Amino acid sequence: MNAPAFNENLHLLNGNHAVAWGVRLAKPDVAPLYPITPQTPILEKLIDFQSKNEFDAELLTPESEHSAMAAAIAASATGARVFTATSSQGLLLMHELLHYASGARTPMVLFNVNRTPGAPWGFWPDQIDSLSQRDTGWIQFYSENPQESLDTVIQAFRISEAANLPVMINHDAFYVSHSIEPVNLPSAEVVDGFLPRIPREFQLGDDSGRSLGAPLDQAGWNLTRQDMDVAMQGVERLTAAAGGDWAKLTGRPAAPLELYRCEDAEVVFVTMGSMCGNAREAVDRLRENGIAAGLLKVRLFRPLPAEALREALAGVPCAIVLDRNYSPGTGGVLHQELKAVLFGIETPPRLHGMLAGVGGVNVPVETIEKLAAEYRNAAPSAQPIWVE
Amino acid sequence: MEKIDYRDEGRFCSGHVACAGCAEAISMRVILNAVGEDTVGVIVPSCTAVILGGYPMSSTKTSFIHGTLESAGAFASGVKRALRAQGRDDTTVLCLAGDGGTYDIGLQSLSSAAERNEDILYICFDNEGYMNTGGQKSSSTPHKAATGSTPLGKPTRKKNMIEILAAHRIPYIATTSPSHLSDMAAKVKKAKSIRGTKVIFVLIPCLPGWGVAENAAVKTARLGVEAGVFPLIEVEGGVKYSLTVDQKTRRIDDYLGEQKRYNHLSDEDRRELQEEVDDTWARLLARAEAGE
Ligand SMILES: Cc1ncc(C[n+]2csc(CCOP(=O)(O)OP(=O)(O)O)c2C)c(N)n1
Ligand code: SF4
Ligand SMILES: [Mg+2]
Q: Give the integer Cα–Cα distance in Å for B193 and A383.
A: 65
Contacts of range A191-195, beta carbons closer than 8 Å, 24 or more positions apart: A191/A25, A191/A26, A191/A27, A191/A154, A192/A27, A193/A249, A194/A154, A194/A158, A194/A245, A194/A246, A194/A249, A195/A26, A195/A27, A195/A154, A195/A157, A195/A158
pLDDT of B14 reads: 87
**Distance (Å) from the C-alpha of residue A107 to the closest C-alpha of chain B?**
13
Per-residue pLDDT tens digits of chain B, which is 292 residues long: 667 778 898 999 988 999 999 999 999 999 999 999 999 999 999 999 999 999 988 999 999 999 999 999 999 999 999 999 999 999 999 999 999 999 999 999 999 999 999 999 999 999 999 999 999 999 999 999 999 999 999 999 999 999 999 999 999 999 999 999 999 999 999 999 999 999 999 999 999 999 999 999 999 999 999 999 999 999 999 999 999 999 999 999 999 999 999 999 999 999 999 999 999 999 999 999 997 6
Contact with chain B for residue A314, Cβ under 8 A: no
pLDDT category at A1 given cuts 50, 70, 90 is: very low
Q: Is the distance from the beta carbon of residue B127 to the nearest atom of ligand 1 less than 6 Å?
A: yes
Distance B273 CA to ligand 1 centre (A): 27
Show the CA angle centred on residue A289, arms to residues A286 and A291, nearest 5°. Answer: 55
**Residues of B with CB below 8 A from A73's CB?**
67, 75, 78
- The answer for residues whose C-beta is within 8 angstroms of residue B182's C-beta and 6 or more apart is B2, B4, B5, B6
Does position A5 have pLDDT exceeding 90, yes or no?
no
Tens-digit pLDDT profile for residues A263-301: 999 999 999 999 999 999 999 999 999 999 999 999 999
- 8 Å CB contact between B49 and B25: no
Is B79 close to A75, i.e. CB distance below 8 A?
Answer: yes
Contact with chain A for residue B79, Cβ under 8 A: yes
Distance B177 CA to ligand 2 centre (A): 15
The terminus-to-terminus CA distance of chain B in angstroms comes to 31
Helix (H) or strand (E) holding A236: helix A235-250
Is A62 close to B68, i.e. CB distance below 8 A?
Answer: no
Looking at the partner chain, which of B85, B109, B115 has a beta carbon nearest the beta carbon of A29? B85
Q: What is the mean pLDDT of residues A229-253?
A: 97
Contact with chain A for residue B58, Cβ under 8 A: yes
Please report the domains of chain A, with CATH numbers, ordered by start residue: 10-247 (3.40.50.970), 257-386 (3.40.50.920)
Contact with chain B for residue A95, Cβ under 8 A: no
Is B81 close to A75, i.e. CB distance below 8 A?
Answer: yes
Distance B206 CA to ligand 2 centre (A): 5
Q: Give the integer Cα–Cα distance in Å for A282 and A371.
A: 10
Tens-digit pLDDT profile for residues A6-18: 577 899 999 999 9
Bond preceding residue A384 cis, omega within 30 of 0:
no
Q: Is the distance from the beta carbon of residue B207 to the nearest atom of ligand 1 less than 6 Å?
A: no
The amino acid at residue B94 is: L
Q: Give the integer Cα–Cα distance in Å for A112 and A125.
A: 11
Distance B84 CA to ligand 2 centre (A): 35
Distance B128 CA to ligand 3 centre (A): 5
Show the CA angle centred on residue A339, arms to residues A335 and A344, nearest 5°. Answer: 165
Closest CA to A108 of A75, A148, A130, A86: A75
For testing contact with chain A, the best of B9, B44, B65 (most A CBs within 10 A): B65
Architecture of domain B23-290: 3-Layer(aba) Sandwich (3.40)
- A218 CB neighbour count, 10 Å cutoff: 7
Q: Give the integer Cα–Cα distance in Å for A88 and B155.
A: 39
**Distance (Å) from the C-alpha of residue B85 to the closest C-alpha of chain A?**
6
Strands B172-176 and A267-271: unpaired
pLDDT category at A382 given cuts 50, 70, 90 is: confident
Q: What is the mean pLDDT of residues A240-261?
A: 97
Contact with chain A for residue B183, Cβ under 8 A: no
Of all residues in chain A, the one with the smallest CA distance to B67 is A213
Ligand 2 atom closest to B18 (CA): 5
E strands in B22-120? 39-43, 63-66, 92-98
- A229 CB neighbour count, 10 Å cutoff: 12
Interface of B with A in 5-34 (CB under 8 A): none
Chain A to chain B, count of Cβ pairs less than 8 Å apart?
A: 154
E strands in chain A? 10-14, 30-32, 58-60, 83-87, 109-114, 139-143, 167-172, 180-184, 257-260, 267-271, 293-298, 300-302, 318-323, 350-355, 385-386
Tens-digit pLDDT profile for residues A318-356: 999 999 999 999 999 999 999 999 999 999 999 999 999
Query: Could you tell me the maximum CA-CA distance found in chain B, to the nearest angstrom?
Result: 60
**Residues of A with CB below 8 A from B56's CB?**
216
Q: Give the integer Cα–Cα distance in Å for A339 and A331.
A: 12
Domain map (residue ranges) of chain B: 23-290
pLDDT of B99 reads: 98
pLDDT of A388 reads: 86
pLDDT of B6 reads: 85
The whole model's pTM is what?
A: 0.96
Tens-digit pLDDT profile for residues A18-37: 999 999 999 999 999 999 99
Contact with chain A for residue B152, Cβ under 8 A: no
Q: Is the distance from the beta carbon of residue B24 to the nearest atom of ligand 2 less than 6 Å?
A: yes
Q: What is the mean pLDDT of residues A228-255?
A: 97
Give the phi and the psi of residue A179 in degrees, each rounded to 5.
-95, 140
* Site to substitute for ligand 1 among B130, B149, B202, most atoms within 8 A of C-beta: B130
Distance B67 CA to ligand 3 centre (A): 16
Lowest mean pLDDT among A5-9, A249-253, A301-305, B81-85: A5-9
pLDDT category at A3 given cuts 50, 70, 90 is: low
Bond preceding residue B56 cis, omega within 30 of 0:
yes
Look up the ipTM and state it. 0.95
Q: Give the integer Cα–Cα distance in Å for A154 and B106.
A: 34
Q: Which residue did the predictor score with more confidence, A388 or B205?
A: B205
